[in-house]
Amino acid sequence: MKKEEMKRRRFLQTAAAGTAVVSLAALAVLESEKAGEDGQLALLGGKPVRNSGFPSWPMIEKNDEEAWADVLQKKGWCRLNGDYVDQFEKEYAKLTGVKECLATSNGTNALFGSMSALDIGPGDEVLVPPYTFVATVNVPFLRFALPVFVDIDPETFQMDPAKIEEKITERTRCICPVHIGGYVANLDAILEIAKKHNLYVVEDACQAHLAEWKGRKVGSWGDAGCFSFQVTKNLSSGEGGAIISNNSELIDRAYSFHSNGRERTNKYGYQYIHNGTNMRMTEFQGALLLQQMTRLEAQARIRETNAEYLTEQLQQIPGIKPAKHYEGCTRTAYHLYMLRYDASQFAGVPRAKFLQALNAEGISCGGGYTPLNKEPFVEETLRNRTFQAVYSKERIDQYLKENHCPENDKLCQEAVWFFQSMLLGTKEDMDQIAEAIRKIHKNAAALAKA
Ligand SMILES: *Cc1c(COP(=O)(O)O)cnc(C)c1O
């Protein structure tokens, strides 16, 4: 029995014998003690809502250690000498419901390998959302293509399909929707536009393991889907990535590119059919992923249950707006839990101070991305010698003139994130997140003055 519950029962027993006036007053005191919401903010010297940490990530069990040690002992550390990566590719293709999977050294290279396989290069334009990890933008640049930013849908934080067509030119080759936070982009609308304009779709599903659109896994809808297994991701091997596709020819090309231009059927020879690089996954990564995968489904279910419970509570707090899901989204991966903070409902307390107060209550949180399209490296890249060899000054000037995403600018000032491992906690952990936010809301005026 929880301490609060014991206190309440003891109280009720006592109250039964006492007078009604006393019992009501005492009950009010007990209720506020239980909620902890009327206490002083931890940032202002009060007691924090929470003292213990959230579940740590990544998680390790005996099977992980055994698999790792097995690779070590067998000495087949490279995928060309072992079969763990081969096995992982088969399992991951099965899990995502596609024909083919190619493991890569990381998610950035999964995107790079996909765009190389699709022959996206100098002069081409790739439509990307600005609300993403920088790799989505870096990869078109690495191919000497232009990442063209499409503003976000303020309700879902995903690339806004209504703003895609105005960005399409005769040089557009590919749309790269990002399932940001593990929430799902509007795939129906995006795929329809892609079909109409004859464009490739590369899904950046680096945060969206097991997420689904209309009951089918994300990453399997576009020409290719890219995943990351970097240590923070919901499935992890420290570093790692994968390309999935139903197009075997595409994966053949990606394979060749990822292993120095060798043919997929000629893994170790000195014959090369294309130009390529080395972005092979190691056997250590493959073996670890196979073991981590045994817990993926169960963990995903816990995150979903907790996130949905958290949403029920948070949407009742004025000024807190959890990100919405499109109707076609049948499963969210919740790599992040994303919401929007409205300072006007919190006595004007700026987001930075709200985050500070929430962290002080023992609830780890962050403000998330800054506007990527405004990063100085974008202009720096476009103005460098190599880009000048491909694009006219007029084209670059025009690009920079049109490079505005006002909805994203606003979101980047208002977003609040919780991280996936927090969602692996208990229902009581979720209660404490909501409790801490309610406490800040109640004490907003004091916080604003402090
Ligand atoms: C993590 C991530 C990547 C890149 O993956 P790495 O494995 O870190 O290279 C790309 N896109 C998004 C949206 C990501 O979150």
Domain with 107 in it: what CATH number?
3.40.640.10
Residue 275 lies in a domain: yes
Where helices occur in 243-363 by DSSP H, the ranges are: 248-258, 283-314, 351-360
- Of the CA atoms within 13 Å of residue 357, those in its CB half-sphere come to 26
Contact residues for 60 (Cβ-Cβ < 8 A; gap 6+): none
Helix axis angle, 351-360 relative to 427-442, nearest 10°? 130
Give the whole-angstrom CA distance, residue 300 versus residue 294: 11
How far, in Å, is the centroid of ligand 1 from the Cα of 177? 13
Give the whole-angstrom CA distance, residue 98 versus residue 224: 10
Token pair for residue 15? 């109250």
How far, in Å, is the centroid of ligand 1 from the Cα of 228? 5
Atom number in ligand 1 closest to CA 239:
7
Whether 430 shows a pLDDT value over 70: the answer reads yes
Atom number in ligand 1 closest to CA 233:
1
Query: What is the reported pLDDT for 126?
Result: 98
Determine the average pLDDT of the residues in 8-14: 44
Query: What is the reported pLDDT for 268?
Result: 86
Pocket residues for ligand 1 (CB within 6 Å)?
A: 106-108, 132-133, 135-136, 178, 204, 206-207, 228, 230, 241
Where helices occur in 343-392 by DSSP H, the ranges are: 351-360, 376-382, 385-390
How far, in Å, is the centroid of ligand 1 from the Cα of 365? 20
Atom number in ligand 1 closest to CA 135:
10
Write the DSSP string, 148-216.
EE-PBPTTT-SB-GGGTGGG--TTEEEE--B-GGG----HHHHHHHHHHHT-EEEEE-TT-TT-EETTE
Which is nearest to 368 in space by CA: 315, 410, 308? 410
Contact residues for 15 (Cβ-Cβ < 8 A; gap 6+): 22, 23, 26, 27
Give the residue whose CA is nearest to atom 7 of ligand 1.
Answer: 107
Whether 28 shows a pLDDT value over 80: the answer reads no
3-state helix, strand, coil in the chain (%, to 5): 50, 15, 35
pLDDT-derived band at 25, boundaries 50, 70, 90: very low
Determine the average pLDDT of the residues in 289-303: 98
Contact residues for 16 (Cβ-Cβ < 8 A; gap 6+): none
How far, in Å, is the centroid of ligand 1 from the Cα of 113? 13
Does the pTM surpass 0.85? The reply is yes
How far, in Å, is the centroid of ligand 1 from the Cα of 134? 8
CB 219 within 8 A of CB 244: yes
Contact residues for 250 (Cβ-Cβ < 8 A; gap 6+): 100, 114, 117, 118, 223, 224
Residue identified by tokens 């129906």 is: 188
Top mutation candidate among 109, 136, 243 for ligand 1, by most atoms within 8 Å of CB: 136
Whether 419 shows a pLDDT value over 60: the answer reads yes
pLDDT-derived band at 69, boundaries 50, 70, 90: very high
Count of all residues that appear for the chain in the document:
450
Whether 189 shows a pLDDT value over 60: the answer reads yes
CB 208 within 8 A of CB 214: no
Top mutation candidate among 206, 209, 233, 420 for ligand 1, by most atoms within 8 Å of CB: 206
Which is nearest to 131 in space by CA: 381, 315, 375, 312? 375
Whether 16 shows a pLDDT value over 80: the answer reads no
CB 87 within 8 A of CB 76: no
Top mutation candidate among 115, 141, 204, 419 for ligand 1, by most atoms within 8 Å of CB: 204
Quickly count: other Cβ atoms within 10 Å of residue 206's Cβ.
30
Give the whole-angstrom CA distance, residue 63 versus residue 54: 23
CB 240 within 8 A of CB 105: yes
Write the DSSP string, 412-428.
HHHEEEEEGGGGGS-HH
Determine the average pLDDT of the residues in 285-299: 98
How far, in Å, is the centroid of ligand 1 from the Cα of 335? 12
Whether 12 shows a pLDDT value over 60: the answer reads no
Residue 419 lies in a domain: no
Query: What is the reported pLDDT for 316?
Result: 97
How far, in Å, is the centroid of ligand 1 from the Cα of 212? 19
Which is nearest to 64 in space by CA: 222, 302, 290, 300? 290
How far, in Å, is the centroid of ligand 1 from the Cα of 142? 15
pLDDT in tens, 374-400: 999 999 999 999 999 999 999 999 999
How far, in Å, is the centroid of ligand 1 from the Cα of 358? 27
Top mutation candidate among 180, 202, 218, 228 for ligand 1, by most atoms within 8 Å of CB: 228
pLDDT in tens, 315-374: 999 999 999 999 999 999 999 999 999 999 999 999 999 999 999 999 999 999 999 999
Whether 38 shows a pLDDT value over 80: the answer reads no
Is 14 or 186 the better-scoring residue by pLDDT? 186
What's the domain count of the chain? 1
How far, in Å, is the centroid of ligand 1 from the Cα of 91? 21
Q: What is the DSSP letter of 229?
A: -
Query: What is the reported pLDDT for 37?
Result: 77
Fill in the amino acid letter for 410.
Answer: K
Give the whole-angstrom CA distance, residue 230 versus residue 240: 6
Whether 234 shows a pLDDT value over 50: the answer reads yes
Query: What is the reported pLDDT for 32?
Result: 44
For the chain, the straight-line distance linking the first and the last C-alpha, in angstroms and rounded, comes to 38
Whether 42 shows a pLDDT value over 50: the answer reads yes
Atom number in ligand 1 closest to CA 240:
7
pLDDT-derived band at 307, boundaries 50, 70, 90: very high
Give the whole-angstrom CA distance, residue 137 versus residue 146: 9
Residue 95 lies in a domain: yes
Q: What is the DSSP letter of 295?
A: H
Fill in the amino acid letter for 206.
Answer: C
Query: What is the reported pLDDT for 1?
Result: 42
CB 378 within 8 A of CB 403: yes
Structural domain harbouring 219: 62-292
Query: What is the reported pLDDT for 116?
Result: 98
